[in-house]
Structure 1
């Protein structure tokens, strides 16, 4: 393919179908296909289901969206899906902020990243199509134009559920530009995108966070023209809460935020509305997902003044994985993608060794704290990367990896001397079995735990060399 052909093809894949029409056109489409009016939680729930499901032998559900991408988090995914299902039905649980609680590197950000990308892709399909009032800065749901008294009719006749009200910007234009005539309101299809700040917002606490980051600010260049900071034409509705409308709002390390930010979150969770200076409460339709670590959480709940905020969270614990098979799959997956190195491989016994070690560090005498501490998958992935550059061999043996791992644990600065000694003792125990890891069974992982069969063909061994 020529350079011109490559660039044309790449650009074509980035383009998407444009659709613009009248509110009447949109309403007729909605009557024929009510799914285009689905609310954010329902859209996200259906997005995940669109990738297919399968019933496991134990009766639990395997979701195709997460298959071979998330390992060892079956329980947590089930809890998230139960929340989304209940929230999409309009039950009261939708008035809670989903809080993913777990140690660093436990998969919180990864799951959120997958959902954000999945939602963006889903909005480009016919099933996940999203429509908004044209030119609205918060991508207002056109159905908010329907008067409260007529919404029940659409629900009973066509299954269209409408929640919320027009934003100040659309209300102003409806009254002053569109002359209260629904036929004058233009509608367009939108495509959710974190990069383009459409339907996916993110907030991260920082030393100098300003409230404007959440709810926008006055446009100083237009204040002189309109003479009133309360005029919608002189206000930028560009806060993260506006951006996330129709999709998802992520709060990173939410419990580190200042009290005034958390109070906005409290109102938003309960009422699906927030207050912007000089304007009435604004409705937004967005799934609220926050994440934090256990240390911050324990500090936060230690302050009784935070009880009202904690009560607004739907908490899903995200501990480290505690099954060696799943832990190995994490490394297996990484070695096929972000840790793939040409002409270098790692013996599967090295990954088995690492998995057994980290699972042991995550044990705790308190059952509620099992998996909430210990060595993270990220630490092992870093160690694998260091092994690739420090071991000058095409194949990193279990002994090679063991040596690098011992060095990393010995010099890991966040460990107390007691914890370092404890972990080094674990490694000494493992070191006595190096020969066992070098003779690791090459059958599929689920079978090798229960079999003493040793494969002899080199091709079978090569299949398990996870650097391929």
Structure 2
């Protein structure tokens, strides 16, 4: 066991002091100008920095139908281990990044509020959290470096602990007087051709820095160069926790809302020291707009803001300025990101007093996921292991919960003969006869509310958690436990008050249960028919008979040695399993022989597994032959002889080995499938 000194040495060996020094660099204004000349990207605007941060993680080109679209790796949350990864919202994320790109290039969107709009639990907050965390990490890298200014103390100019740092972490180039900026830009750019990384000096000093700047100008009789010797520049690391460059504003009730939370407030204790409440040294520039300068401000439920706050928001977005109490308009440079749900947005649309805000808003819809595979990924972040909290999660448990959630979000298809379940499968990539990629796109375009209504992933996650703790005697959690939790929770669902809607969701649970029944029946059938040698014997027997049939020959009986007519009953018993009608049996048999012949020409050996339809037919045939010998239905009566139990144990072992079940869930699923067959037998009788 390691002792204290070994643990300290472990940390010591892995620390990077050079990186620490780079992050905590402090220098002169002249040194900063050298940095700008060599690396002009340090002067980027907040939008440019955010856009570059996203691109720094890479972009994949993904083929969707006939179109090629971008997939930004940043939203997979690589630095966070995928905990905040966003799934199934490729169009939404592309729209967001395109808006940031437009803002970064100065095409106008930088003067708008980016509004993420969607139902509760649709990843709006996750996207905002990702962007904030991404900016924080990016600012710690050499590529994402940015700097701010401070003022040496008049009495102890060489004391680094007495530097008066800018409270808004603004760009040091604001110290360049307006009349010299064009020439300074020309010198710094040095005929640079890359337009995206040209230095542009925009904005003015904040009230605090402006006050000290003018004070020092008077001290040095207007000599700007002497003033610059008092300037210190340091690197800034953005941090939400430290309230540096990342701000978050959450509305409170009307009685407790105060505009100073956005733009700062007077420090009354310092008024006695400086003699005036309009002295910037007696003001706390600690409002969310102040601290978010150079980075990003997130407005949680932005449309719940009191009207009084909207003036600050409108000025901040359109003019890039805020109005602190007792001071003139102050320049800011930050991304303004808000998010809201559907009811609040409808209220915005109907409120004529909000017209100015609507005009300054870029709405980006963030719907629920409507693709099953992506919905499953959302829950796999928490339930991606077969064992969670000491309990085994049976196969298809998460899948069935996700299937129900997606079904609640889909509109009933207008296409005749197409069910909502089939529509979901089409969206998930399954092919159905008569449906092309264009048809599927038409289905999506016809839907007006798809993804904006339905069950939230949070509700499903809550019920999955409930299922894990409400069955103390069970070592395994199966789909029925979770589906029952989902159904019982509908009675008290706080967001669903319509009884018809609740009944619709219950009906969809019935659809999911029926689909689960088909899935597990197929799995048990395959487990029973997973005898490789028996399948190969059956396949060989079938092919021998098909070959004789197509060539009008006889088949040699392996037992008697005599030649007999091809076994029509055997061939049809296989073909009927995949719905080959009697009128097409000849075509199917010739197709199989042509397939085998083509393989032989290429020098390849025929394997029944390579032909999906034949493989499925053989498995179903073998299952039918072995089902009665295994006597699976005897499980229902709990009267099982030793020989049958041995065969059932073999099937159970295959379920555990090949399909991810444990002993308890494999027993449960066998008993469930046995009850299905027992019901079927009873109906036939």
Q: Deviations over 1:299-323 (max 9, x none)?
A: 1210112111111011000111111
The question of whether the paired residues in 2 share the 8 Å contact of 1:399 and 1:434 is answered with no
Q: Distance in 1 between matches of 2:55 and 2:471?
A: 44
Q: Deviations over 1:329-370 (max 9, x none)?
A: 111122249x98343232341222112211121134783322
Structure 2, unpaired ranges of 5+: 77-81, 151-164, 190-197, 413-445, 525-611, 620-650, 663-685
**Residue matched to 2:145:** 129
Q: Distance in 2 between matches of 1:200 and 1:331?
A: 29
Shift of 1:233: 1.1
User: Is 1:378–2:458 an aligned residue pair?
Assistant: yes
Matches for 1:61-460 after TM superposition, within 5 Å: 61-67=70-76, 69-134=85-150, 135-157=165-187, 158=189, 159-177=198-216, 179=220, 180=224, 181-207=227-253, 208-336=256-384, 341-364=388-411, 367-392=447-472, 393-416=474-497, 417-438=499-520, 458-460=656-658
Q: Deviations over 1:161-211 (max 9, x none)?
A: 222111011111112146442232111011100000000001111111111
Q: Deviations over 1:203-253 (max 9, x none)?
A: 111111111101111111011222211111111111110010010000010
Cα 1:72–1:13, aligned 2, differ >3 Å: closer, same or farther? Answer: farther
The question of whether the paired residues in 2 share the 8 Å contact of 1:349 and 1:439 is answered with no
Cα 1:248–1:382, aligned 2, differ >3 Å: closer, same or farther? Answer: same
Cα 1:3–1:258, aligned 2, differ >3 Å: closer, same or farther? Answer: farther
The correspondence for 1:43, drawn from 37, 42, 49, is: 49
The question of whether the paired residues in 2 share the 8 Å contact of 1:95 and 1:270 is answered with yes
TM-score (norm 1): 0.91
Count of equivalent residues: 456
Q: Distance in 2 between matches of 1:211 and 1:268?
A: 13
Q: Deviations over 1:122-170 (max 9, x none)?
A: 1110000111113111111101112223333344451212221110111
Structure 1 residue matching 2:338: 3-state secondary structure: strand
Q: Deviations over 1:94-141 (max 9, x none)?
A: 100000000110000001111111111111100001111131111111
Q: Distance in 2 between matches of 1:65 and 1:91?
A: 24
Q: Deviations over 1:45-84 (max 9, x none)?
A: 1111111111112411111111251101101110111011
Cα 1:377–1:188, aligned 2, differ >3 Å: closer, same or farther? Answer: same
The CA RMSD measured in Å over matched residues stands at 2.7
Q: Which structure has the bigger radius of gyration? A: 2
The question of whether the paired residues in 2 share the 8 Å contact of 1:398 and 1:438 is answered with no
Q: Distance in 1 between matches of 2:449 and 2:232?
A: 54
Structure 1 residue matching 2:660: 3-state secondary structure: helix
Structure 2 residue matching 1:250: 3-state secondary structure: strand
Q: Distance in 2 between matches of 1:439 and 1:146?
A: 76
The question of whether the paired residues in 1 share the 8 Å contact of 2:118 and 2:341 is answered with yes
The question of whether the paired residues in 2 share the 8 Å contact of 1:52 and 1:64 is answered with yes
Q: Distance in 2 between matches of 1:48 and 1:203?
A: 23
Shift of 1:426: 1.3
